[in-house]
Amino acid sequence: MRLSTSGDGYPFLLIDDEPAALKSYETQLLGEGITDVLTCGSADAALRLLEERSVSTVLLDLRLPGLSGRELLRQVAGRWPHIPVVVITGVDEVETAVGCMKDGALEYLVKPVDPNRLLTSLKKARELFELRRENRLLREGLMSRELRCPEAFADMVTADAGMHSLFRYAEAIAETSRPVLISGETGVGKELMARAIHRLSGRSGELVAVNPAGLDDSLFADTLFGHARGAFTGAERNRKGLVEQARGGTLFLDEIGDLSPASQVKLLRLVQEEEYFPLGADVPVKSSARLIVATNRDLRKLMAEEAFRSDLYYRLLLHQIEIPPLRKRRRDILLLINHFLSQSARELNRPVPPLPPGLLNLLEGYDFPGNVRELCSLVFDALSREQGGRLSADSFRKILGLSALPVVSGRDNNSLSELYAPLKELPTLREAEDLLITAALERAGGNQTLAAAMLGISRQTLHRRTRSLRNGKDG
């Protein structure tokens, strides 16, 4: 049994007029790694505290001086209905228990309470609080069309409506403690999204990022969990792992789809129990790090192939963000080109060059298998190669491995007129368009990206028109 770790600004509130009882409850919570606890000995003090502080769970003794615990229960349920209340009392009466449940109590425990029963009840209350809070945040975030903290996403340049929906969802879940699974192809910005969620979370600790994909099982455990002195040859002293370094913050694990089955078991324990064993240690260590994981692989497919544990997958699926590839948001390409040009020019200490003719059409027709990361590298590389302060589309073609296009600018209009002079009748616009498309495809060797760049149109437009051309011939 594991309670969600406090330290997120929502402490447990313990109310009892017996100092010894309060000390006992506090000690039990401390044994679970919970240090964020508030205590008070009367209903009046509890009400003042609730007006000043946000709490996650109330443990309430019914017998209190002054205002009774029963009346306090009614007030908490009425004024703070999102806070679960666990009632604890020495009165073992069915009528009292039923009355408390009707007044809003989540649990009714009779003294003396078994420690495991108490912790189980508090865990249930805390989970209910987190669920209510997440639902409220999600409703507020998804109903709003405005971001509360747009600066958190400053590194993710986009005008795409779908991306902005993901930003709103990320804002809504950022303050919760549950794991987040970020999926998407290589280079779409999964780590940037993880960093944005961490910034929005308000957590006091750091974000610690690690790619465990190339680690064997022992190295994975040592890297994440650390080791005790004498755990293996050469372990001369205790060493803290990355989970400890992320205490109170966020642990970001990239490419978890490549984890071995043994490493998946170790990660499952961390996710499920929020605790881990350093190598060579017999006592588990509590974790207070929020977990964000990312993958570019299809985890459902891996589950079907029995290469990824289903219990781990469903534990990680509580919050999922799937970032679309760049080819599905091509309107962002111009924004990103300008962004990366400014960034690259600043790093290279050069003025920002104008975009050369035909470059946007060329890049909008390219599929970018490496996504935003590939576009960033492409712009930086092309600008690095240019020495005259001007950018040319040829630099991009060479980097992409495309053959150079014939120069289409500066055509001689007289020669174009001479081309049509022998004809008794000019072709229709549709006929001329079909001829141009056919000629461009022949010169490009069937490469639609190249042909589209020759014609000054996008690859999607060319694809539509070639399809119409084929249909016309078929008809």
Q: What is the tens place of the pLDDT at every residue in 61-106?
A: 998 998 999 999 999 999 999 999 999 988 778 888 888 999 999 9
pLDDT grade, residue 1 (50/70/90)?
very low
Measure the CA dihedral 417/421/424/427, to 10°: -30
Does position 457 have pLDDT exceeding 80, yes or no?
no
Please give the domain boundaries of the chain with CATH numbers for all domains.
12-138 (3.40.50.2300), 150-324 (3.40.50.300), 329-400 (1.10.8.60), 424-474 (1.10.10.60)
Q: What is the pLDDT of residue 6?
A: 43
Burial 451-464 (b: 16+ CB within 10 A, else e): bbbbbebbbeebee
CA distance 72 to 83: 13
Q: What is the pLDDT of residue 421?
A: 63
Whether the ω angle into residue 112 lies within 30 degrees of 0, i.e. cis, is: yes
Q: What is the pLDDT of residue 424?
A: 67
Does position 280 have pLDDT exceeding 70, yes or no?
yes
HSE of 278 in the Cβ direction (CA atoms, 13 Å)?
21
Task: Report the percent of the chain where pLDDT is more than 90.
Answer: 47
Q: pTM for the full model?
A: 0.68
Does position 176 have pLDDT exceeding 80, yes or no?
yes
Tokens at 165, concatenated = 């929906």
Do 212 and 263 contact (CB within 8 A), yes or no?
yes
Looking at every residue in the chain, the average pLDDT score rounds to 85
Q: Which secondary structure element, helix H or strand E, spans residue 194, and what is its range?
A: helix 190-201
Contacts of 80 (CB under 8 A, 6+ apart): 50
Tokens at 221, concatenated = 């455990």
Three-class DSSP category at 31: helix
| Distance spanning both ends of the chain, measured CA to CA | 71
CA 64 vs CA 18, 22, 70: distances in Å:
9, 13, 9
